[in-house]
């Protein structure tokens, strides 16, 4: 089975499993887990922040950031198809008692300065005001589109001019940096905090990082404890995260495979596929006369999995495990990984063609 539902379906490598087994640990709530501490140092360096904190999930990281940055009753300005708005169970309202005001981020999900100013609500006797601007990079629903540094900076400047902090949901931040050929720290220089996932694309079995100033992270630790995120001897799961950070350098391969997959699928009658910018491929099934759910059901019978992303939209997501199970089952572990990946993509295209 070629599983292209998400880049979260990867299995930890043997090196990651060994690192977990051998990890030096301590009680992280007391700040005594050396492996977690090292992961936090390296993560902060990777995104150019003063400090970082390990959290179990990206959703928890985003929710903690909202809680730290805002006061109860304020508004958060978010993209109308963003992860924090669509897929986090109304967490801003539940955890931070925030109202949400949405903007249409267009092709890449980023607001222009005029939209930031238009969405801003000034605090007065009757209104709690705007307390946070959220950006998403890459933008998941729009197809893994990266937001360029200039767009991030323009939105952040507009928000800061109004006294509003900026948080980036950077679940796939390093995919954005890779696609833009930009250092992640440079991409984030204008913002106040960022969350990025170790388990999306980078291959860790669990975990995300929340980074910002030392004062921000100090308060974030209190909120993490409030939300049940004190993980004690967490070095066992942090150790694979250290290795996952090294996988930033291979993300371009996932992007190349996504382009190959998109080109192959777009050549099939009934499917329409735009060239992906990163590792997410969105497939329009309208002209095939099949809903996404129907086609995916047939695809699974042919050995390929994907995700529904609308009634007539399928999402396929490339990742570091593409082709791995097929290589192992054919006892071709020694085969060149590029060849294995390429064969898996060809097989996936052929399977979708059979399913049509």
Contact in structure between 76 and 131 (CB atoms under 8 Å): yes
pLDDT in tens, the chain (356 residues): 999 999 999 999 999 999 999 999 999 999 999 999 999 999 999 999 999 999 999 999 999 999 999 999 999 999 999 999 999 999 999 999 999 999 999 999 999 999 999 999 999 999 999 999 999 999 999 999 999 999 999 999 999 999 999 999 999 999 999 999 999 999 999 999 999 999 999 999 999 999 999 999 999 999 999 999 999 999 999 999 999 999 999 999 999 999 999 999 999 999 999 999 999 999 999 999 999 999 999 999 999 999 999 999 999 999 999 987 655 444 444 445 666 678 999 999 999 999 99
Q: Helix, strand or coil for residue 283?
A: strand
Q: Pull the structure tokens for residue 332.
A: 């071709």
- DSSP, res 30: G
- DSSP, res 139: B
Tell me the pairing of strands 130-136 and 75-79.
Answer: parallel
Tokens 């109004």 identify what position?
162
| Sheet containing 99-103: order of strands | 51-55, 208-212, 193-197, 166-169, 130-136, 75-79, 99-103
Contact in structure between 131 and 137 (CB atoms under 8 Å): no
Cα 299 to chain centroid, rounded: 25
Reported pTM: 0.94
Contact in structure between 54 and 44 (CB atoms under 8 Å): no
């Amino acid at each position: 089975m070629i599983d292209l539902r998400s880049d979260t379906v990867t299995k930890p490598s043997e090196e990651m499993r060994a690192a977990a087994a051998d990890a030096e640990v301590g009680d992280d709530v007391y700040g005594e887990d050396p492996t977690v501490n090292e992961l936090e140092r390296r993560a902060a360096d990777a995104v150019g922040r003063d400090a970082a904190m390990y959290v179990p999930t990206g959703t928890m990281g985003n929710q903690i950031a909202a809680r730290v940055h805002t006061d109860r009753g304020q508004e958060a300005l978010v993209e109308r198809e963003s992860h924090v708005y669509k897929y986090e169970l109304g967490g801003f309202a539940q955890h931070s008692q925030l109202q949400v005001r949405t903007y249409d981020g267009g092709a890449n999900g980023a607001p222009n300065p005029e939209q930031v100013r238009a969405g801003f609500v000034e605090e007065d006797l009757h209104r709690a005001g705007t307390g946070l601007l959220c950006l998403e990079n890459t933008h998941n629903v729009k197809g893994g589109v990266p937001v360029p540094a200039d767009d991030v900076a323009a939105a952040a400047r507009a928000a800061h001019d109004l006294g509003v902090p900026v948080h980036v949901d950077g679940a796939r931040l390093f995919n954005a940096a890779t696609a833009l050929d930009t250092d992640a720290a440079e991409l984030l220089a204008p913002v106040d905090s960022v969350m990025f996932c170790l388990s999306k694309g980078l291959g860790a079995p669990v975990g995300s990082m929340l980074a910002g100033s030392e004062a921000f992270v100090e308060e974030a630790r209190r909120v993490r404890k409030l939300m049940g995120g004190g993980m004690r001897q967490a070095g066992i799961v942090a150790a694979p995260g250290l290795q996952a950070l090294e996988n930033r350098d291979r993300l371009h391969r996932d992007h190349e495979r996504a382009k190959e997959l998109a080109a192959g699928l777009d050549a099939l009658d009934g499917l329409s596929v735009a060239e992906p910018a990163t590792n997410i491929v969105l497939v329009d099934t309208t002209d095939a006369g099949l809903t996404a759910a129907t086609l995916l059901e047939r695809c699974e019978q042919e050995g390929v999995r994907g995700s529904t992303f609308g009634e007539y939209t399928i999402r396929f997501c490339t990742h570091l495990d593409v082709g791995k199970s097929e290589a192992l089952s054919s006892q071709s572990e020694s085969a060149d990984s590029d060849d294995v990946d390429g064969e898996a993509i060809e097989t996936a295209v052929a399977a979708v063609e059979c399913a049509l």
